Amino acid sequence: MNSALTDEHVDQYLARIGVERSAVAVDHDGLAVLQYAHLTTVPFTNIDVYDKLPVTTSLDWSLPAVLQGRGGWCFVLNGAFAALLDGLGFRVTCMGALVVNDKPSPMEDHLCIRVDLDRPWLVDVGFGESFTRPLPLDSNDPVDDVAAGRRFRLVRSDDGRYELESEKHVDGEPYWRTDYRFTTHPRELADLSDASDYLMTSGLSWTEKRFSTRLTDDGRVTLLHDRIKFTPRCGDERVVALNDETAWEAARQRHLPTPT
């Protein structure tokens, strides 16, 4: 892709996620630093969608949403992050994916990123509680993701499709759950506009209850419609009820603040 970010935008973006430009090399380690920094500073959230703002897949929307601290969903976060990576000199390809759930979408409804370095990598900063470091596209070996607290793997089928799988447990027994399916066919942000519009008007969970979540250095914080949830890497989850709008906004400002 051709980056639409100026050098000034790149510097602002790096400042937003707390990364020094001089510390970012165009290699796997640099990519991993950027992905983790993004996940811990920019929330994955549906608040703009819930508030019925005119969310689009355009960088004209996505970049301010990130720089101003609102965050967003996959089209916003991965769209902006792909442009940042491209502006830093990474070889980036945007890809469409189909999220696997009880009510599948009739179209590709997720945006993810391929980055080609010494080998191809899958990167994603817009899928909530997912992997926190680049995953190799040329291997199906499980990757132990300490920050996420579980293992992930990519499985490629004979027809060239990939499945992102995460390891879950039921009654102490592990199993692999498919999170989304994708191909490496390049997509432009505009190609996913119909999916974005569909999700904003389909009556699915994106529009019913607001949420905001981000990774932390010791786990994850998730703000839901009427409560906030703290999930440490080790130890018990803690949930605090939020009984009114004042309490909800105070929790947002404390744990998912907008930068000044």
Q: Quick: pLDDT tens for 72-84.
A: 999 999 999 999 9
Question: What is the C-alpha to C-alpha distance for residues 62 and 94, in angstroms, rounded to an integer?
Answer: 15
Question: What is the C-alpha to C-alpha distance for residues 145 and 128, in angstroms, rounded to an integer?
Answer: 14
Question: What is the C-alpha to C-alpha distance for residues 13 and 15, in angstroms, rounded to an integer?
Answer: 5
Confidence of residue 120 (pLDDT cuts 50, 70, 90): very high
- 216 part of a folded domain: no
pLDDT of residue 234: 84
Q: Are 202 and 101 in contact (CB under 8 A)?
A: no
Question: What is the C-alpha to C-alpha distance for residues 110 and 181, in angstroms, rounded to an integer?
Answer: 9
- 173 part of a folded domain: yes
Question: What is the C-alpha to C-alpha distance for residues 185 and 199, in angstroms, rounded to an integer?
Answer: 22
In tens, the pLDDT along 43-74 reads 999 999 999 999 999 999 999 999 998 999 99
Nearest CA to 206 out of 114, 134, 99 is that of 99
Q: What is the mean pLDDT of residues 184-200?
A: 93
- The mean predicted confidence, pLDDT, of the chain is 92
Burial code (b: 16+ CB inside 10 Å, e: under 16) for 35-66 equals bbbbbbbbbbbbbbbbeeeebbbbbebbbebb
Q: How many CA atoms lie within 13 A of 42 on its CB side?
A: 34
- 235 part of a folded domain: no
Which residues constitute the domain of residue 97? 7-205
Confidence of residue 3 (pLDDT cuts 50, 70, 90): low
Q: CATH number for the domain including 16?
A: 3.30.2140.20
- 228 part of a folded domain: no
- 239 part of a folded domain: no
Question: What is the C-alpha to C-alpha distance for residues 146 and 123, in angstroms, rounded to an integer?
Answer: 16
- 26 part of a folded domain: yes
Number of independent structural domains in the chain: 1
Query: Given the DSSP bridges, would you call strands 120-123 and 219-223 parallel, antiparallel or unpaired?
Result: unpaired
- 244 part of a folded domain: no
Interior angle at CA 95, CA 92 and CA 98, nearest 5: 155
Question: What is the C-alpha to C-alpha distance for residues 16 and 41, in angstroms, rounded to an integer?
Answer: 8
- 247 part of a folded domain: no
